[in-house]
Amino acid sequence: MEETLMQCEMKMEEAIEHLMHALAKIRTGRANPQMLDGVYVDYYGVATSITQIANVTVPEANQLLIKPYDRSLTKEFERAISEAHLNVNPQNEGDQIRIVIAALTEETRKALVKETKKVGEDAKVNIRNVRRDTNDLIKKAEKNHEISEDESEGYQADVQKLTDQFVAKVDEKIAHKDQELMRV
C-alpha cells in the first residue's frame, strides 16, 4: 500500500508539472522563451522543436530573438511560428527572427485569466481522477482481505490529504499566474 501511495503522489506531481507547462504557454505580455516549446520546424524531414535547433533569447521584456543554428532555415522558422497560432507576428531579419510581444488589453487579460482557470480546473480533475483510481485500488485490497477495514480507511484518508495538498498547489499556481496576467 505504501507503494500505491507513492505512485499516487507521483501521478499528482505529474499533473502539477503538466499544469506548469500549460501555464507557461499562456502569454503575459512579457517575452518568455517557453511560449515556443510547442513550435516545431521541419528540420531536414524531421519535426524538431525550435528550442533544440536555435538560440532563443530575450533582449527586451517584450521581445524574443531567435537565431537558428542553420541560417538557411530562417524562413522555415518564420512559417512555423506563424502557423503555431501564438498571436504573434515573427519578423524575419535575414539570419534571425524577432518576435515583438504586444501589450495585452484589459479584455485580453480577462480572457487569459479565464483560460488559466480552465487549465487549473483540468489539473484538479486529473488529481481527483488519481485519487479515485488509488481509492479503488485500496478498496480492492480491502475486499480481497489484503488489508483491514481500518487500514483501508487510513489509507483513503492519506490519499485525501495528498489530494487536498495538490489541489491547494494548483490554486496557488493559478492565483500567481492570474496576478501576473493582471499586472499592467
93 with 37, same domain?
yes
Task: Tell me the pLDDT band of 133, cut-offs 50, 70 and 90.
Answer: very high
Cα–Cα distance list, 53 to 15, 45, 92, 127, 182 (Å): 28, 14, 17, 35, 33
Domain of residue 120, residue span: 2-25+105-182
pLDDT in tens, 39-54: 898 888 888 888 888 8
- 76 and 140 in a single domain? The answer is no
Tell me which of 45, 69, 100 is where a domain ends.
100
pLDDT at residue number 184: 62
Q: What pLDDT, in 10s, does the model give residues 26-38?
A: 777 777 787 887 8
Same domain, 143 and 77: no
Q: Residue 160 belongs to a domain with what CATH number?
A: 1.10.132.20
Q: Could you give the residue ranges of the DSSP H alpha helices within the chain? A: 2-24, 50-53, 74-83, 106-143, 149-182
Q: What CA–CA distance (Å, rounded) separates 35 from 51?
A: 10
Domain holding 85: CATH number? Answer: 3.30.1360.40
Q: Domain check: are 96 and 124 in the same one?
A: no
- 110 and 178 in a single domain? The answer is yes
What is the rounded CA–CA span in Å between residue 147 and residue 126?
27
Residues 82 and 113 in one domain: no
Count of domains forming the chain: 2
